[in-house]
Structure 1
Amino acid sequence: MTIRVLHVASELYPLLKTGGLADVTAALPAALIEQGADARLLLPGFPPVAAGLEDLRPVARIERSFGAPEATLELGRLPGSDLSVYMIRADAFYARAGNPYLDDEHVPYGDNAQRFALLGWTAAQLAGRLDPAWAPAIVQAHDWHAGLAPAYLRAAQREHGAPLAHVRSIFTIHNLAYQGIFPAQQFDGLGLPHDFLHMHGVEFYGQLSFLKAGLFYADKITTVSPTYAREIQTVAQGGGLEGLLRERTHDLVGILNGVDYQVWNPAGDAAIAAKYSATRMSGKLRCKSALQTRMNLAVKHDALVFGVVSRLTEQKGLDLLLAAVPDLVARGGQLVVLGTGDPSLEQGYARAARQHPESVAVELGFDETLAHEIVAGADVMAVPSRFEPCGLTQLYALAYGALPLVHCVGGLADTVVDATLENLAEDLATGFVFTRFEPDALTAAIRRAFALHARSRDWRETRARAMRQDFGWAASAQRYMALYRELAG
């Protein structure tokens, strides 16, 4: 029997991307289809989604619109793929230019609770055959935007019983730090049973939490790496939800995100200056020179180039890295930064670039092509995050032979092996890992990168080993399929 799975999310690469979630929602359903699942996706009709989907056609009118004058369900296809995508067309909610969550002042939209309640409600309606031709057996909701989907499904099962009794839900945490919190007085407009507004429900310290709704009402909870699954059950990383997560520890599974090697592969990447592979590395040097030229750095083959492609936030540990820039430059290294975020960090990195114009270059914003050029041209990719649910940058870096320098947390701990003498001797090392989140620990890891780079044979072997790592989606998809079969009984 083919398992029908509906993924519910707010982003999809390449149509709309603000972070790694979009990469996952593009790659995971495709990998599940290859494993024999019938996987589809449900998205809000943001402008890039409405413009980017092919063969869109109306399926049904959505009866409850949460204040939007009209809401309809449409079905289309992601171009160049077999992925069927449902889209909610509610222009009053979604047809807004710019960021899908924030207004021009970078303030969350005042009606976000209604906008994303509509997403969760529609998912539950799809489980109840809103589309007469297709209904899921599993609803997998991604992050807080889809957090109400398991709650609406539970409410519908309680009200209607048998028709929905077989449908199961999964809530996937991509980042527990974003919880979708709203004032409690908005609860009445959500159309949930009154007893759901409870500490054993959607209530969170006197407010509503869409993320908590997903955690409480889903049949299973997954997150994006095994280590992060353990970390979020602690006070330090639980975000106030560690008690609930510990209660549900037997329903919580860490499944590592994967990489789409059709998009991230230096042997076939059209965005980079020269293609290369683990056995033919000459192109990487050309990519390095091209990056140095593009970013107006001194073109030095022997300079150790560190790359950063990231949101510029303290969560990403970029305050720690900024403090290490003088030491990095003094050792002859170079740093290329692409990202946007906290104004103080943007200003700090811009100041470092002015102080060291031949060694530090910063581009504020996001540019997918430049992201590929940095990963291809860098010798080391720095991902010094305070916490990191999975992280994709370090996985891209491994594939491109840019050795990851990471803090030992979450998915970073699960995917990068430190270049200690023991790990080098046993052919295990793939990067540089520091355990204490302190300036001297990061600086010591940077020094180890310079030391390994000076031993050219060890460097080449470590780089080749990194490029041979396989973090493709197939293994992750197999684990999800096993979870679906367990839930489907």
Structure 2
Amino acid sequence: MKKILFATSETHPLIKTGGLADVAGSLPLALGELEQDVRIIMPNYQAIRNCEPGRYLCTVKVNNCDVNLLETWLPGSQIPVWLVDYPPFFKVPGNPYVDDNGMPWPNIGDRFALFCRIVAEVAMNRAYLDWQPDIVHCNDWQTGLVPALLSLEHQHPASVFTIHNMAYQGLFPATAFTLLNLPGQLWHPEGLEYHGMLSFIKGGLAYAERITTVSPTYAQEIQTPEFGYGLEGLLAHKQSQLSGILNGIDTEVWNPAIDPHIAQTYGMKTLNDKAANKIALQQQMNLPVDAELPVFGLIGRLVEQKGIDLILAGLPELLELPAQFVFLGSGDKSNEYRLMEFARLYPEKVAVTIGYNEPLAHQIEAGADIFLMPSRFEPCGLNQMYSQRYGTIPIVRKTGGLADTVVDTLPESIANGTATGFVFNDTSAATLTEAIKRCLVMFRHKKDWRQLQRNAMSRDFSWQSSAQRYLALYDEI
């Protein structure tokens, strides 16, 4: 049995802004089922929900701050969650990264530096908990200082650093290094220094014993200038320590047979029941009810990374097709405005909900026929896996985890029963539109479409195999 400390800035269902929270809420559970001793550690934000109030464990002094550690549990599990409780930093309205008005926290460096120091103290068994991990599993830039701090310790636990998105790096002016009172021996070009700035993510990349990312294709992509954001050289240098392990999904939460958020549950053998969800979605979104019309869904951030600009550029042509489009998400205000304008001009074809709504997300996955995910880059992506589980056929760009999880519908893949979606290469509205039209040809052939749905629903995206791969990685180090 391994003792694993899982350090993360967010965990579903306690608090979530993106895919990291889903991983943090699922991978520790899967490791627990493999009889590992896992503890999650995260900041005690004011916005945390869905868990028991934390009970006081101890107080740890770091950098002249008295920080409390509280203990609660991942809901419905035996996995302890240790909450790093420092009210001046964390007991304020907002989410982990931005305040109530959507502005980045001005003291975000201070917040996560303090968090990393506490993780390092717990890892070295200096937090009065009488528990020392064998492995500290860190996630994204917010925990990047942990491997760096541990590198200065005698007989420290091994560290694994997982990149969920290279685009977010935790870059700060050089003065922040001094202001954060970090150990001087970490400030050099092979350490935390990045072109004269302080880089949190570089701490994880330079000092962790192993680096993982969330899909095999993304592990290759981040070693190139297009996806490496200036750190591709370091990643290529550490290639022997870098691997891509595909994220799983929570197959209990995302299961059309038992989903409490959808109008009608269904499974592979009762696929006809999926049609009731389309009608419910059309009614909910005030679209004309028409069982024959294909409904396209999109759930996600309305930002360029997700290819929303490709959809906006193609929509005038797409709206001439017999189809409906349902959008759920938030992001760049200009994208939100343009989508809302399409919904105003074409109320019988376009429905838009700005913001995030978990029940509606489930209803879209169940009610749509086709899911749009034309991302410019996508480290792993989860919605394309949810969609396949719900028999909703994804249209994706060939990048990152999308390339690893969706099998393009071609004569060969149709023949051998592996086709599960539609894949296109170029980041252009034209190639996306072409993929959509290719998909609609298949949609009209009901028997072939039904087979495509069954292929998709039979894919295994559970966490079990991913957890086994992480365990093998822990064993290696």
TM-score by length of 1: 0.95
Separation in 2 of the partners of 1:210 and 1:407?
30
Q: 2 CA distance for matches of 1:326 and 1:348?
A: 12
State whether structure 2 residue 80 is matched by structure 1 residue 84: yes
Once the two structures are aligned, what percentage of the paired residues are identical?
47
The 1:307–1:131 alpha-carbon spacing in structure 2 relative to 1, beyond 3 Å, is farther
Corresponding residue for 1:42?
41
- Equivalent residue letter for 2:83: M
Measured in 2, the distance between the counterparts of 1:189 and 1:141 equals: 23
Contact 2:47/2:94 (8 A) holds in 1: no
**1:136 maps to what in 2?**
133
Once the two structures are superposed, residues 225-245 of structure 1 have per-residue CA deviations (whole angstroms, 9 ceiling, x without a partner) of 000000000011100000000
Q: Give the superposition deviation at 1:65.
A: 5.0
Identify the residue that residue 427 of structure 1 maps to in structure 2: 417
Gap change, CA 1:65 and 1:339, over 3 Å in 2:
farther
- Name which of structure 1's ranges 430-439 and 388-397 shifts more when overlaid on structure 2: 430-439
Cα distance between partner residues in 2 of 1:403 and 1:39: 35
Superposition pairs of residues 77-476 of structure 1, within 5 angstroms: 77-129=73-125, 130-155=127-152, 157=153, 161-162=154-155, 164=156, 167-476=157-466
Q: Please list every run of 5 or more consecutive structure 1 residues that lacks an aligned counterpart in the other structure.
A: none
Contact 2:299/2:327 (CA < 8 Å) preserved in 1?
Answer: yes
Question: In structure 2, do the counterparts of structure 1 residues 131 and 478 end up closer, same or farther at CA, with 3 Å as the change threshold?
Answer: farther
CA distance in 2, matches of 1:422, 1:478: 31
Q: Contact 1:328–1:334 (CA<8 Å) still a contact in 2?
A: no
Deviations 1:240-266 (A, max 9, x none): 000000000000010000011110000
* 1:16 corresponding residue in structure 2: 15
Query: Cα deviations across residues 152-178 of structure 1 (Å, max 9, x unaligned)?
Result: 1112x1xxx24x3xx100110000001
Identify the residue that residue 55 of structure 2 maps to in structure 1: 57
Q: Determine if contact 1:65/1:71 at 8 Å carries over to the other structure.
A: no
Please state whether the residue corresponding to 2:162 is helix, strand or coil. Answer: strand
Superposition deviation, residue 333 in structure 1:
0.9
Other structure's SS at 1:63 match: strand
Distance 1:262 1:104 in 2: 32
Query: SS where residue 141 of structure 1 aligns?
Result: strand
Which secondary structure does the structure 1 equivalent of 2:138 belong to? strand
Asked if 2 retains the 8 angstrom alpha-carbon contact of 1:226 and 1:254, the reply is yes
CA distance in 2, matches of 1:252, 1:100: 27
Which blocks of at least 5 consecutive residues in structure 2 are unaligned? none
The amino acid of 2:308's aligned partner reads: L
In 2 relative to 1, CA 36–108 (structure 1 residues): closer, same or farther, beyond 3 Å?
same
SS at match of 1:61: strand
Distance (whole Å) between structure 2 residues aligned to residue 186 and residue 48 of structure 1: 27
CA positional deviation for 1:396:
0.3
Contact 1:382 1:406 in 2 (8 A): yes
Distance 2:227 2:94 in 1: 31
Kindly state the Cα deviation for residue 194 of structure 1 after the two structures are TM-superposed: 1.1
CA distance in structure 1 between the aligned counterparts of 2:12 and 2:136, rounded to whole angstroms:
20
SS in structure 2 at match of 1:268: coil
Structure 1: 4+ residue segments shifted above 6 A: none
For residues 384 and 450 of structure 1, the distance between their equivalents in structure 2, rounded to whole angstroms, comes to 16
Aligned equivalents of 1:77 and 1:134: distance in 2?
A: 17
Question: RMSD across aligned C-alpha pairs, in angstroms?
Answer: 1.2
In the alignment of these two chains, the number of paired residues is 476
Shift of 1:52: 3.9
| 1: CA distance, partners of 2:397 / 2:129 | 49
| 1:346-400 CA distance string (max 9 Å, x none) | 0111111111100100000000110001000000111100000000000000000
In the TM superposition, residue 149 of structure 1 has moved relative to its aligned partner by 0.9
SS at match of 2:268: coil
Question: What residue identity is the alignment partner of 2:75?
Answer: P
Structure 1: distance between partners of 2:148 and 2:401 = 28
Q: 1:246 is paired with a residue of what secondary structure?
A: helix
Give distance in 2, aligned partners of 1:44 and 1:124.
14
For the 8 Å contact 2:298–2:373, the answer to whether it is kept is yes
1:5-64: CA deviations, max 9, x gaps? 011011111111111111100000000011121111001000233x54326222221211
Letter in 1 for 2:160: I
Judge which range, 390-399 or 321-330, deviates more: 321-330
Deviation at 1:217? 0.9
Q: 1-side partners of 2:448 and 2:317: how far apart?
A: 23
CA distance in 2, matches of 1:455, 1:283: 19
Q: 2:54 and 2:15 mapped to 1: Cα distance?
A: 17
- CA deviation after TM superposition for structure 1 residue 271, in Å: 0.3
Structure 1 residues 55 and 296, CA gap change in structure 2 (3 angstroms): closer
Report the residue type matching 1:18 in the other structure: T
